[in-house]
Amino acid sequence: MKQSERNILFKSWIENSIDAIISRIEPASSDASFRSYYRITLNNEDTFIAVDSPPEHENNKTFMRIAQILDDMGISVPKIIDSELNHGFLIMSDLGKNTMLDKLTSNIQYSSDYYKKAISVISKIQHNGISSHSELPLYDKDMMLDEMKLFVNWYCKVELNINDNEIQKYDLYSIFNQIAERALKQEQVFVHRDFHSRNIIVNNNNQLGILDFQDAVLGPITYDLVSLLRDCYITLPEQFVSEKIEHFYNESSALLMNTTQEEFTKDFDLMGVQRHLKAVGIFSRLKHRDQKETYILDIPRTRNYLIKICDKYDSLQSLSDFLREHSHQ
């Protein structure tokens, strides 16, 4: 089906699904996937979100199931109002226009309150998600390694045009293996897997709603905290990050068993290296494969995270050396 034909079908389905007069349909947001989001405004100014999510690229049944699991936990997520899974069309409730990133960049004085609430959401998901573990795919070693290889395959080889011989000098795959093995030793919990400021909506009552949860897995307890505090889209003061790590550690003591705060902080750091290697690779792939070039602007911040953390640990020094010797243009 041509995209123009799909657009006509999508609009017709929306009009048939909503038993009201539609005032306007406009783009709501964009992301790094194949999904497209539209805000539907009715004559009475009520709004909904329509999603065009091609089933050959996106698992919409999983999205709907994870939405239900989170809703049952009392987490604010979009409610599915109607769906047509053969074509990948959804209509959902509208949590609002303002992301947490929007709020932070416009009024930083509220940052501590937002992060405290966001950490509470992570803790709630982890504690209440235990009964759902059997429904989640495992975030296993192969998946973690495949994600880190995106850094080599798309950033090093494509974005920086570095050859295999040069890459092999730094023994990066040994570091990847070390990081994955340590992550698997963490407590395994319900992981949102993309819990950052662009995927958190702040409503008119300053309460938080959560988006983009369809890739949830059973994985390391530090993962969502890293996504939040070492966000690829905003840099937080290091002292602030340390305070929030301690806050989370104390709030999650029942899940952490015999893990010391020092061990937890190292787990957090190395999990961040894994996530940021993946992110740099994905940002490069978005530019070169998908023609979404704006994401490349977030690479310098993400590289800086990598260098800063790698410098703390002798076992990661060769990755730090690699990044310093192959600067991003």
What are the domain boundaries of the chain? 3-93, 100-325
Confidence of residue 106 (pLDDT cuts 50, 70, 90): confident
Closest by alpha carbon to 81, among 60, 105, 64, 98?
64
Q: What is the mean pLDDT of residues 47-55?
A: 94
pLDDT reading at 283 higher than 60: yes
pLDDT reading at 286 higher than 70: yes
Angle, in degrees to the nearest 10, between helices 238-251 and 261-288: 120
Asked if 256 and 249 count as a contact pair (C-beta separation under 8 A), the reply is yes
88-101: b (≥16 Cβ within 10 Å) or e: bbbbbebbeeebbb
Closest by alpha carbon to 114, among 196, 186, 5, 214?
196
Residue 57 CB contacts under 8 Å (≥ 6 apart), including other chains: 33, 34
Q: What is the mean pLDDT of residues 30-43?
A: 84
What was the pLDDT predicted at 175? 97
Q: What is the mean pLDDT of residues 84-111?
A: 89
Decide which of 218 and 30 is more confident. Answer: 218
Percent of the chain at pLDDT exceeding 70 = 97
What was the pLDDT predicted at 109? 61
Percent of the chain at pLDDT exceeding 90 = 81
Of 4-8, 36-40, 234-238, the poorest mean pLDDT is in 4-8
What was the pLDDT predicted at 328? 75
- 3-93: CATH number: 3.30.200.20
Of 3-7, 64-68, 189-193, 315-319, the poorest mean pLDDT is in 3-7
* Fold of the domain built from segment(s) 100-325: Aminoglycoside 3'-phosphotransferase; Chain: A, domain 2 (3.90.1200)
Closest by alpha carbon to 190, among 145, 124, 267, 244?
124
CB count in 10 Å sphere of residue 28 = 17
Asked if 96 and 209 count as a contact pair (C-beta separation under 8 A), the reply is yes
Confidence of residue 40 (pLDDT cuts 50, 70, 90): very high
Of 134-143, 254-263, 274-283, the poorest mean pLDDT is in 254-263
pLDDT in tens, 138-184: 999 999 999 999 999 999 999 999 999 999 999 999 999 999 999 99
Q: Are strands 188-191 and 80-84 parallel, antiparallel or unpaired?
A: unpaired
pLDDT reading at 6 higher than 70: yes
Taken in order 13, 7, 201, 265, the sign of the CA dihedral is: positive
What is the C-alpha separation between 218 and 136, in angstroms, rounded?
6
Domains 3-93 and 100-325 share a fold: no
What was the pLDDT predicted at 108? 62
Confidence of residue 207 (pLDDT cuts 50, 70, 90): very high
pLDDT reading at 232 higher than 80: yes
pLDDT reading at 110 higher than 60: no
